[in-house]
Chains A and B, each alone.
Chain A
Amino acid sequence: MHDVERALQSFHSLRLEDIMPPMTSMPVVTVDAPILSVLKILKTRHHVWVVRDKESMRLKGVIRYLDVIDILLPPEAYKFKLGMTSRSLKSILGGAEKAIDVAERDVLTIEKDSTVLDALLKMRRYRAQVLAVVDGDRLVGEVSLRLLINEFLRLLRTGDVKWMQHGSSSQSESP
């Protein structure tokens, strides 16, 4: 079996809880955080988790990079039609002030004992770049495409797998 295929197989069977980043490095704000703080975080991150408070870490929503469009648009840019109003309430000019006002409350989640393959399938099915890892309704971690890419590259490095490209092989980056 090809080295990369082997690496992919072991990559797919990795458990999420073994590769999740520490909670301290995750972008998390509380429901009453001002939108400006959220925007500052989104300058360098692709999402921000919104929790009820930092003690309970009860997950209340997520603000994704693309949600910034709704936050910054003026009210007249929205179409107020049945089935289209929820997005329009997220504009700053519409009066949104706190993180929870602009957060997507229905967050795609995955259990911490799921595998990378489970996460990838869910991401593909719902075109999501990030999933919240939860224990009940408590946020315990996250799995993002960036994390998965890093983890796959790390596997290739540590397994000394050769990266096949354009018909030639080259040694992967040393760790």
Chain B
Amino acid sequence: MDATWLLFTIGISLILAKIGDSIIERFELPGVLGELLMGMLLGNLVYFGIVPPHYLPIVSGYGFETTATEISDFLAKLGIIFLLFLGALDTDVEQLKKTGLTATVSTVLGVFVPLIIGWYALMAMGYPSREAFAGGVLLTATSIGLTVRVMMDLGVLRSEVGAASLSASVMDDFLGIALVIFAVGSGSLLNLSIKIVVFFIITGVLGWYLIDHYIRFAERLHVEKGVLGMAVGMMFLFAALAEGWFAAAIEGAFMMGLILSKLPEGKRIMEDIRAIGYGLLIPFFFVHTGAMLDLRVFENGNAIKLAVVLSAVAIIGKVLGRGFGAWITAWGRGRDFLFTKENFWMSLQMGIGSIPRTEVALVDLMVAIQGGAIPPEDAPEFIAATLIFITVSVLITPPLLKWAFRRDIESTIAEKVETRKSQISERKKRVIQQKKGIKSKLLK
């Protein structure tokens, strides 16, 4: 294999990814969209015959398979693994344990309502059950980044709704990542369930209790980046186990990240993992995913139809599921609060905050394609539809959130104005009293 054009492809992908990320971030949208767009650009240079596939081995399929495209595919897979490892490592497990009832109920409904609606909608469109289920799984995980950003701008991130949204979105990442096992796992449901239990016992329970000793052992080796190497090594072993059992290596990477996140030493290697992840593998994964979108797929209406259905279910299913989940708990304030306007608006805010989807949806999509849940002949339309619903979800969330929070913002501003007014009048009174005091002293 001539490595020249593979190296060229990796280089150009990374440069374009960072440029695309920067351009899209200027519009206050997730930079990942820019990386996907750049990938689309590169991929379609090949699909439309402008550049021969040999010179840009970023996509496989369509008769382009070479050793170089296989390496590209594998690098992208490593990108997914590192993305999930990093996501889990960044999780504050202690904080999650304090998650309240509202966040928990709204997470569960927020995951299962779009999953079930999506599953049935796709079956109604004629997709086989397994493929339709995989399509439903794509709709489960929220990308909290955009919501956090908008809530921060609106000054409501630390509100009750903001805090619950944060917890719920972390939890629905867990569920979204876990559910994909049922889409790609093979064998009977019982067999799969046993494997899942054994996997979580091995990685979760054993890992949770032994990780401390493992990191101490790594420290005692006294070698350069010893802890990092040993942690990443174990992450790959977990990933290998998950790949072997469920065709979903991400589960292993995610579990290792979670286990490691409980140790300060684990958090300290995060910068190194970020450097490997966001410096190389993760942007390459997004460019690679974008490159898989062959624009010729829009020649027939299937992709658009699928995109419309997935977008509608993604938005309505999440708002309904998470919103209803929050509403029914009445935010822990009892029955009297259930039918109040405030409960309705807070629950709606919670639902709207859960609309955006980005990274985990793409990860689930790739796992479903690689695991065979979405067959190769349907992959292009699922890729197109997913990229469209992701774009729609991130575009409509900011204005919807601003609209949903407008009453809170207005009342916060009014409160601030009132407080300021009373502070000014207090100060005036004090100055007048001081002046009077000075005058009376002078008169005396």
The distance from the CB of A120 to the nearest CB of chain B, in whole angstroms, is: 12
Which of the residues A83, A85, A96, A101 comes within 8 Å of B148, measured between beta carbons?
Answer: A85
Asked whether A40 is an interface residue with its Cβ less than 8 Å from the other chain, the reply is no
Asked whether A155 is an interface residue with its Cβ less than 8 Å from the other chain, the reply is no
Residues of B in contact, count (CB < 8 Å): 45
Quick one: closest A residue to B143, CB to CB?
A: A82
Main secondary structure of the interface of A (DSSP, over half): loop
Which of the residues A76, A80, A95, A126 comes within 8 Å of B145, measured between beta carbons?
Answer: A80
* A80-B30 contact in complex given A88-B148, A94-B157, A105-B92, C-beta closer than 8 Å: yes
- Does the CB pair A95–B158 fall under 8 Å? yes
- Does the CB pair A75–B152 fall under 8 Å? yes
Cβ contacts under 8 Å, A79 to chain B: 25, 31
Cβ contacts under 8 Å, A127 to chain B: 268
- Does the CB pair B267–A106 fall under 8 Å? yes
Q: Which 9 A-B pairs have the closest CB atoms?
A: A80-B145, A83-B86, A95-B158, A106-B264, A75-B152, A82-B87, A126-B268, A106-B267, A82-B359
- Does the CB pair A93–B152 fall under 8 Å? yes
Which of the residues B90, B94, B270 comes within 8 Å of A85, measured between beta carbons?
Answer: B90
The distance from the CB of A83 to the nearest CB of chain B, in whole angstroms, is: 3
Asked whether B408 is an interface residue with its Cβ less than 8 Å from the other chain, the reply is no
In the bound complex, CA of A80 to CA of B146 (Å)? 7
* 10 examples of A-B residue contacts, CB within 8 angstroms: A81-B278, A83-B83, A84-B278, A94-B158, A95-B156, A95-B158, A95-B162, A105-B92, A106-B263, A106-B264
Asked whether A39 is an interface residue with its Cβ less than 8 Å from the other chain, the reply is no
Main secondary structure of the interface of B (DSSP, over half): helix
* A81-B359 contact in complex given A88-B148, A93-B152, A105-B94, C-beta closer than 8 Å: yes
Q: Which of A104-123 contact B (CB under 8 A)?
A: 104-109, 121-122
Which of the residues B226, B266, B274 comes within 8 Å of A83, measured between beta carbons?
Answer: B274
Cβ contacts under 8 Å, A125 to chain B: 219, 226-227
Asked whether A44 is an interface residue with its Cβ less than 8 Å from the other chain, the reply is no
Cβ contacts under 8 Å, A80 to chain B: 30, 144-146, 148-149
Quick one: closest B residue to A107, CB to CB?
A: B264
In the bound complex, CA of A104 to CA of B95 (Å)? 13
**Hey, what's the 0/1 contact readout for B391-408 against A, CB within 8 Å counting as 1?**
000000000000000000
The distance from the CB of A59 to the nearest CB of chain B, in whole angstroms, is: 11
Asked whether B265 is an interface residue with its Cβ less than 8 Å from the other chain, the reply is yes
Q: Which of B362-390 contact A (CB under 8 A)?
A: none
In the bound complex, CA of A79 to CA of B146 (Å)? 10
- Does the CB pair A91–B227 fall under 8 Å? no
Asked whether B103 is an interface residue with its Cβ less than 8 Å from the other chain, the reply is no
Q: Which of A66-105 contact B (CB under 8 A)?
A: 75-76, 78-86, 88-89, 91, 93-97, 101, 104-105
Greatest chain A CB density within 10 A among B28, B155, B219, B264 is at B264
The distance from the CB of B266 to the nearest CB of chain A, in whole angstroms, is: 8
In the bound complex, CA of A91 to CA of B152 (Å)? 9
